[in-house]
Amino acid sequence: MAATPSTSLYELIKSLTKSEKRYFKVFSSKHTIGEENNYITLFDYLDNQNGYDETKLFEDFKGQAFLNKFSITKKRLQENILRSLDSYHSNSSIDAQLYRMMHYAEILYDKSLYKQCKKYLQSAEKLAEKHAKYHILLEVNQKMKRLLENTGYAGSDQAFLDAMQTKDNELSEVIRGYNNLWHIKSSLMMHLNRNGVARNQEERKIYDELIHPLSHCQYAVAFDSIFLVNQIQAAYYFGTLDFQKSEQYIAANITLYKENAERLKEEVNVYFSLISNGIYLNHHLGDYSRVDELLNELKTISKESGKNLSEDLNIKLFSSINSTRLMLYNERGEFTEAIQTVPLIEEAYRLYGSKIAPARRAYLNYNIAVAYFGEGAYTQSLKWINTILNDKDLDEKLDIYCFSQLLNLILHFELDNRELLPYAIKNTQRYLKSRNRVYKFEEIFLKYLNKLSRTISPLDQMDLLENVITEIQPLTEDPFERSVFDSFKFLLWAKSKLSKRPFAELVHTAYSERSK
């Protein structure tokens, strides 16, 4: 038994759907000899476990021969499961169909059945052209060349060879253009994910530099290239705080998928992301009817796809829908309704655990914390904020981590943790400084919260609250400072303390006025 047992087999078995499990057992009975019973027995055992405990497994199967070479048994079982999945999903995507056709052609070539080989390559070529699978087209051409060489160029002439070279060059240019666009897009997205939107002119210049290569990029007018150009523009305008233009490019990609039903079916996960981004942007633009429209579309796709969704897509869909619901409830001041979704989210955490990406989990937890804050349940809110601040898998450079630090301080203030708060403020100041995140709002907010934490007199506190409102009010109109106010209603919180009115009431009133 290994010092640190691998859980990969257990995780693979747990990821299977009921139909995939049934198919594996049928497949295993047909494709394994001698070891079938051991495989099925081990498979069923692991499938019924709620966690992987190799020590207990060895105890339960004590005396069984397969334990003598258990690592080999696990590897063979895992490979057998993957082979069954390959067979089960052989027609699940265009890529799967193409690679199967290519494999058939390879087998026929090795058997010197060149005419049959050519037919499969030609079929693969037609299918790849239809679905713009350029990388596979290049591979088809390479196999065609080998076939030509082996048959002594029978049935070919110079014009045919010239046409093949022209096609290769065109494909190479298309792929080169796609790769350049992908690099620009990925550079923008990586910077956006790690550093957030621009909060000053220097950060704006970084986005300008990242998108600059687009002006010199040559690319084919095809689905993938159009999609990437729209994605680049959407990311650039989001990062530079022009949400209106960002939304236009997201909407263009949503339309692009709607007009290409096959791509939508194959890449429903990308479509989910587009819809989610559209919801976020329209929410911040105040187009709530469009938000409801997109949210309904997300739910409709989920129902229509039904059991065909993979676990990965189910997780993404769950995260998108519930993050959006929480965000909308919090925006409207409907904190009670937001809290009612918490049991559903907790159950998903139990089912999916670490499979939910840290950033997705953080946004869910943050919105839950805001909901409890709105209800005045500060201890509960702090519990959810701590899940973010204590998550070792979460990148501390992300905006959500920064916003959690700020909300954490307000919670300690509301809980009257006067001894702890000054240290928490200093820790937050160090964190922000180390991440170059000390912008205008953060500087003003931390300065006044520090003073408020040390002030006992109610009259002095009122004076400080009036001062902080006066100083941060203008920042709500500053595009570089807007993102922090989107994360939490800091200004309304200060006003609620000053007016002694419920925070939820002020949030609901502000939303009603914007919606008129």
If pLDDT is split at 50, 70 and 90, which confidence band does 436 have?
confident
Could you state, in order of their start, the residue ranges of all structural domains in the chain?
8-88, 310-516
Alpha-carbon distance of 272 to 254, in angstroms, equals 10
Express each pLDDT in 239-286 by its tens digit: 999 999 999 999 999 999 999 888 888 788 888 889 989 988 998 888
Q: Annotate 227-279 with three-state secondary structure.
A: HHHHHHHHHHHHHCCCHHHHHHHHHHHHHHHHCCHHHHHHCHHHHHHHHHHHH
Q: What is the pLDDT of residue 398?
A: 79
pTM to 2 decimal places: 0.74
Alpha-carbon distance of 140 to 94, in angstroms, equals 15
Express each pLDDT in 382-432 by its tens digit: 999 999 999 998 888 778 888 999 999 999 999 989 888 888 999 998 888
Express each pLDDT in 140-155 by its tens digit: 999 999 998 988 888 8
Phi (first) and psi of residue 394, to 5 degrees? -85, 135
Alpha-carbon distance of 149 to 375, in angstroms, equals 75
pLDDT surpasses 60 at 1: no
Reduced to 3 states, what is the DSSP secondary structure of residue 194?
helix
DSSP 474: G
Take residue 49 and report the two structure tokens written for it: 């476990």
DSSP 433: H
In the CATH hierarchy, which fold is given to the domain comprising 310-516? Answer: 1.25.40
Reduced to 3 states, what is the DSSP secondary structure of residue 457?
coil
Alpha-carbon distance of 277 to 282, in angstroms, equals 9
Express each pLDDT in 489-514 by its tens digit: 999 999 999 999 999 999 999 888 87
